[in-house]
Structures are given as C-alpha cells and as structure tokens.
Amino acid sequence: MQKIRAAVCHAFNEPLVIEEVNLAPPGPGEVEITLDAVAICHSDISYAEGAWGGTLPAVYGHEAAGRISATGEGVTGYKPGDSVIATLIQSCGTCPACATGHPVRCETPRDNDNGPLSMGDGSTLARGLNCGAFAEKMVVKTSQIAPYPAEIPASSACLLSCGVITGIGAVVNTGGVRAGETVVVIGAGGVGLNAIQGARIAGAGRIIAVDMSQEKLDAARDFGATDGILATDPKPWSAARKITGRGADAVFVTVGAIPAYDTAARYLAPGGRLVAVGMPHSGAKSNYEPVILAATGQQMVGSLMGDTVLVRDIRWMVDLYQQGRLKLDELVSNRFTLDQINEAFESTKSGTARRNVITF
C-alpha cells in the first residue's frame, strides 16, 4: 500500500479536497499508472454535483494518460514505462455485450466502492467512473487502457480517453455516418467539436453546428463544420432545413440540456436518425411526438462512450493525429495543477473551455 495525493469529493456540490490517500498495488490483470495528464469532463462535474448519485467519499477523473509504473499478475503486452491512455471502459470480454463487440455495455458487475483506493485511515474511498484519475497514480484493468506513442503530448493524448472517442465514435460507430450525408451537431463544446471532426473524417457533405455561442460556432468551422446556426434563433431547425433542403440524415445531441433534446428531432429528414450523446441529470425528461418518428421512419438511439472498442479505435485515431487529420492539441484550452482542480472545474462549468487538463 502506497500513499498518493488525490482530489477527494467528500460532499456533493462542495470543493474537492487535495489529500493523501492509500493506493493498493495492482492485482491480477491490472496495471498501475503514474499520471501525466487528466482532462476535466462534464461527467466528472456532474458526479461531483450529485447529479447521478454515488458513494462518497470518492475520487473522480476518467480521461487520463500516463506511464505504466507496475503490473499485476498475468499482465501481458504491457510493461513499466509504456505510455497509455486510461478510460472508464472496463470490459470482461465474455458477457453478451462484450462478446458481440460492445465492451462499453459490459454487463459484468463491478465494485468500485471497495477498489484499490482507501482513505489515509483505511476507510472506504470510492473509485469514481472505474478510474479515480484525479490523483498522482491509478490502478485499472488492462481492458481500460490502450497504448499511444510517447512523442504525443500527454495533455493531448488524454483526450482520446473520453471526449474524442465519445464524439467521433458517436458519429462513426453509433451513427454510421456515410460520405455525402448531412449532419447536425447540437453543441460545439469539447464532445461536439469531436463529433464535428468525426463527421468530417466520415465524409459528410454538410456539417451544421448549432450552439448558443457565436464564438463556438466560429471555432466549429476549424474542426470541419460547413455551417453554423445560433440556437437562440427563433427556429434554428428551419434555418438548417434551408441549408439542407430536406433536414439532416443524422443529428447528434452532444450537450445534456433538455431544450436541446426537446427540439433535436425537428432537424431530422424522413428516415433520419437522432443520436443521444450528452447526458442530462437523472430524472430530467424530454418531450417529443412519437407519431412523427413512426410516420417518417426516423430513429432515436443512445451512444455511450461512442460505442468505442479501445484496441480497434485508438490505433486509427492516433494514426490520423500523426497525419494531421485529427485535431487534439487544439482541443486543450488550459492546463492546471492538481492543486488547482477546483479552479479547473469552475473554468469548465463556465462553458468557455473546450477541455481543461490537469498536468503532473
């Protein structure tokens, strides 16, 4: 058992506390990672606010990159010193979901309340989102990691762990966007920008960004948006239809705002598909007319972590980054130390940052 510094959530909607906690060594099939960078995701903030419940105290953080510093029994293919990204996607490989190529939906129960972390006095410390990456080190299963070239800055590589795969994966894996299709992305924040560049990579003919901020719409063009529409317009879906002539083949809601979900289907063309990516708080409800979906053959589907398969998708995303075809560096807005994590949270909540990153 070793001592590490971590940002601990003791009470919802209260500042995180930097303190010394215990980290157990990696067990069978696990690795210990010394963190180089971890990004602030809105999911971390939602958990810290109590939006989805959970056990406290807890250490959140799940968009991480670092170097393996120890390996557990039976680990093959990785060794100390390897640069890896680490994510919340923990899969058993044998349940029905994993066996059919959907590891993000792994059905095997896991107990993160009694994981490798504990408080300094030995009491329970939950590992939030299967990771607990707001810390100097973390212990995770090998199913949660993927290698990346050490020459890629860790502050950029860590974004592959969630924001990038969630946005791009929603378009490529869940949405199945094909060349020439018309895409609407509602929300041009961190995940939205990745959905936009995912649509560009997939060859979409028109990529329409919708956001409350003109500044974000301008930035969206740098990532591949062909058009931008302010969500504050009286009927932004009508403006989108004027551009497309018929509505969108695919609409991606990348924010957890209920008004965005209430209006998303209005952008769809007949036979179009709506992909839910952004996650509202538990209990929040949206309204739509199911008769329209039935009468027009439209679809609604959820996308968790972009339906990513780490061993498949990280490899080609890294390749595109190295070719200059996938933007990672441009997604980083600010860098903070672990001691500044509450400041990083506030900056993220302001909505002005693409991705804030804690560096070590």
Give the number of other CB atoms < 10 A from CB of residue 20.
12
Please tell me the pTM assigned to this model.
Answer: 0.96
**Phi (first) and psi of residue 257, to 5 degrees:** -90, 125
pLDDT score, position 305: 97
In a domain, 58, yes or no: yes
In a domain, 310, yes or no: no
Give the number of other CB atoms < 10 A from CB of residue 99.
11
**How are beta strands 2-8 and 30-39 bridged, if at all?**
unpaired
301: left (phi over 0), alpha (psi -120 to 50) or beta: beta
Q: Is the pLDDT of residue 216 over 90?
A: yes
Number of domains in the chain: 2
pLDDT score, position 288: 87
Q: Is the pLDDT of residue 48 over 90?
A: yes
What proportion of the chain, given as a percentage, has pLDDT over 90?
Answer: 98
Q: Is the pLDDT of residue 46 over 90?
A: yes
**Per-residue pLDDT tens for 311-340?**
999 999 999 999 999 999 999 999 999 999
Domain identity same for 184 and 245:
yes
Domain, as residue range, for 55: 2-161+327-359
For residue 23, the domain's CATH number is 3.90.180.10
Q: What is the CA radius of gyration of the chain?
A: 20
Domain identity same for 72 and 146:
yes
In a domain, 236, yes or no: yes
In a domain, 337, yes or no: yes
Amino acid in position 328: L
pLDDT score, position 223: 98
Across 45-162, the runs of DSSP E, i.e. the strands, are 58-59, 63-71, 83-86, 117-118, 126-127, 137-141, 145-147
What proportion of the chain, given as a percentage, has pLDDT over 70?
Answer: 100
In a domain, 314, yes or no: no
